[in-house]
Amino acid sequence: LIGSAGIVANGIHALAIDTNSRVLYIGGWFTNGVAKWDIKNQSWINITNFEVNGPVESLLLLNNNLFIGGAFSSVSGESSPRYLNIEQWNIQSLSWDTVGAGVGNANEYFDEVFTMSNDSLGNIYVGGVFFQVDSDIHAVDIAKYNTNSKKWDSVNNSLIWNEGADAICFYKDTLYIAG
């Protein structure tokens, strides 16, 4: 199935399902970074005006927005520090919107978002390898983005990860982290 569209199996890093429209989003290291599969009709759907210039490691669908995390600095050919390693794509208007000034430092090659999860309040928790978010907020490998206020915050900078946060999930009032 996936191979028939030119997406190599080892190039897939993330999945997100929109249960309302029955669409599967597939993220990874391949052309455009994200592909879209119509589950009901078993066919590929073209995503217009969509391209990232690096690997997509994580996808999160929340309130008609597909949050995309990975290691990239450009979306749809537009380079800007505001697209640093995280971005959101509105699945209804088919348009990009920023997630603050991004994750990491534009001068650091190894900054990357590996994982994302959300809580019931609409906060997005981001894990990966980085030391800052929103260009000037100190955050070591884990940060929180409030989708209502559109503000970043550190989670707990007393946590020091050896190789970054590889997986996170939020359940009730607890954030679980693996790294």
Chain centroid to Cα 139, Å, comes to: 17
pLDDT tens digits for range 154-170:
987 656 556 789 999 99
pLDDT tens digits for range 112-143:
999 999 999 999 999 999 989 998 899 989 99
pLDDT tens digits for range 39-61:
999 888 888 777 888 899 999 99
The phi and psi torsions of 174 (rounded to 5 degrees) equal -125, 130
Distances (CA, A) of 142 to 99, 109, 116, 118: 15, 18, 10, 13
- pTM of the model as a whole: 0.90
Specify the higher pLDDT residue, 79 or 123.
123
Distance, in Å, from the CA atom of 21 to the CA atom of 19, rounded to the nearest integer, reads 6
